[in-house]
Amino acid sequence: MTSGEFEGWSTLDKRTLAVTALMMTGAAVGAAIPTTAAIVSGGGRFWVALVWVVAGGVVLIGGGVLVELFYWKGVRYRVTPDRLETAFTLVFRSRKSLQRERIRNVDLTANPLHRLFGVAVVTIGTGSHESGGQGRIKLNPVSRAEAERLRADLLRRAEIAEADENAPLAELDRSWIRYAPMSFLTPTLGLAAGGGLMQVSEWAGLQKGLIDWVIGLFRGIPLVVAILILLAIAMVVGLIGALGLWIEMWWNFRLDREPGGTLRVRRGLFTTRSISIEERRMRGIDLVEPLGNRISGAARVDAIATGMRQSDDKDKTDYHTLLPAAPVVTANRVVASVLREPVSPTEAVRLTGHPRAARGRLLRWWVGSVVVLLAIFALLGFLLTDVLLVIGAALGVVLLPASVLLALDAYRNLGHGITGRYLVGRHGTVRRSTFALEREGVIGWTLKQSIFQRRKGLLTVVATTAAGAGAYSVYDAGEAQGLLFAEESVPELLTPFLERA
């Protein structure tokens, strides 16, 4: 580094050292408990275990702070009229820059420790298709005030401070929490908690004792009943977990339209998030209704927009969500407001149903899947234990009629239509999706037809776009109606390739 080379550049906030020290302390304490238990249960003395965990904790905390100090000393950043630049200048050198005109999102995240010290992580991205993080810069962390200044500056929203704080498009209604357990996340969390308990007990050398205790607890109870009781316990744990996760993610939720044309979502109890989407990048919305939410009359709203964070982000779904599961009436109102339409396209459209051949195809798929599952249980039952035969029979009684109902529901949900400047498609039963995509946002059409669809005169029409998931499908439409839909939606794209009878 030459003298004055980085004059005028900024550094990250020094409070990151204290944040790292506390994070490492928490990790050290968390690791010390099972480590101590393992040493003591293995015959070691308590003071020996204490010496080991204290020494390990000092190394962990000291090492973490040292690495963070190295990072903090090396990172510099600056904002010029044309670019955002970062540089690492310690031992080795690297530089990275983003053109300001390509910046699409500036997101702020602050976990409880960040909030305690008044700092935030700023993630600046240019779009969704860069690999290896090349299109994204993360400043971890800067002060809260600096984070807000960067967001306003990089999104060119000087008037952001004048936002009308009294007129949000949507804000949290605490009654929405009733939709949190109506998700497949509930049993998943319950089973994950059971798996986590087994893993921790293994680390502590207590797994055998835990299994013996559970076996003793259910001694004298039929195996099937014991399994049902364990599943019920897992569901209760999953229910508590789903409620806790919902509260952490969506507490203080608020959706605003800021002067200058930016939609801003703010949410989070412990870890706060601020996600910005430029309205000129919006190409439509996706009204998502998982089965549990649909039964209880709720729907979630996801944005279809260009330049959103996607493939290489761990929590990509969250960045698209404009509204958590809420009453359908509320969801449609928010959709209309976000798209600046008098009525939501998903509500205004008259969907055209699909041919009956699609119903038979869905019935064969759903029932066939269950038959394959039952055949596996039967095979394993004959080879291993009769218990699997009993479980398979019980599943058959439940799943076969359920698969028929789901197939019929999936058929009823198939549909497509055009309303105003949007094309609309609907499909799915376990997760029903109704997308409204701007016709001008369609950059191509893909027509797919498997051998089974060809025999029944069906095809899948896929609208390709630069926004959202990149492709939105209308499944199992009739050949004629699918082609007509694509032609009417965006005539100039498909018409030259059609051969008329």
pLDDT one-digit tens code per residue, 407-416? 999 999 999 9
Distance (Å) of CA 283 to CA 129, 222, 308: 17, 56, 12
pLDDT reading at 479 higher than 80: yes
CA dihedral 177, 182, 188, 192 (to 10 degrees): 30
Q: Quick one: pLDDT at residue 4?
A: 67
- Say which residue, 191 or 72, is predicted with more confidence: 72
DSSP bridge partners of 265: 255, 275
The radius of gyration of the chain from alpha carbons, rounded to an integer in Å, stands at 28
Decide: pTM greater than 0.85.
no
Q: What is the spatial distance between Cα 240 and Cα 292, in angstroms, rounded to a whole number?
A: 17
- Say which residue, 199 or 323, is predicted with more confidence: 323
In contact, 201 and 258? CB cutoff 8 Å: no
- Kindly tell me the burial class for residue 184, based on how many C-beta atoms sit within 10 Å of its own C-beta (0-12, 13-18, 19 or more): middle
Calculate mean pLDDT across residues 349-364: 94
Q: What is the mean pLDDT of the chain?
A: 86
- Say which residue, 442 or 7, is predicted with more confidence: 442
Q: Quick one: pLDDT at residue 391?
A: 83
Q: What is the spatial distance between Cα 448 and Cα 476, in angstroms, rounded to a whole number?
A: 9
Distance (Å) of CA 302 to CA 140, 170, 277, 319, 399: 27, 14, 12, 9, 31
Between 73-87, 88-102, 287-301, 391-405, the lowest mean confidence (pLDDT) is in 88-102
pLDDT-derived band at 458 (thresholds 50, 70, 90) equals very high
What angle do helix axes 185-203 and 16-41 make, rounded to 10 degrees? 60
CA dihedral 346, 352, 356, 360 (to 10 degrees): -20
Q: Quick one: pLDDT at residue 130?
A: 55
Between 170-179, 228-237, 338-347, 368-377, the lowest mean confidence (pLDDT) is in 228-237
How confident is the model over 114-125, as pLDDT tens digits? 999 999 999 988
Q: State the sign of the Cα–Cα–Cα–Cα dihedral 202, 207, 210, 215.
A: positive
- Say which residue, 135 or 294, is predicted with more confidence: 294
pLDDT-derived band at 204 (thresholds 50, 70, 90) equals low
Q: What is the spatial distance between Cα 308 and Cα 482, in angstroms, rounded to a whole number?
A: 29
The secondary structure element, H or E, covering residue 411 is: helix 386-413
pLDDT reading at 316 higher than 50: no
Q: Which residue has the tokens 């969704």?
A: 128
pLDDT reading at 206 higher than 80: no
pLDDT-derived band at 160 (thresholds 50, 70, 90) equals very low
- Say which residue, 449 or 49, is predicted with more confidence: 449
Residue 75 in tokens = 């990172």
- Say which residue, 207 or 105, is predicted with more confidence: 105
pLDDT reading at 318 higher than 90: no
How confident is the model over 212-260, as pLDDT tens digits? 888 888 777 887 788 788 888 888 988 999 899 999 999 999 999 887 7
Q: What is the spatial distance between Cα 428 and Cα 89, in angstroms, rounded to a whole number?
A: 52
Q: Quick one: pLDDT at residue 128?
A: 54
What angle do helix axes 185-203 and 207-217 make, rounded to 10 degrees? 120
Calculate mean pLDDT across residues 352-373: 94
Q: What is the spatial distance between Cα 101 and Cα 155, in angstroms, rounded to a whole number?
A: 9
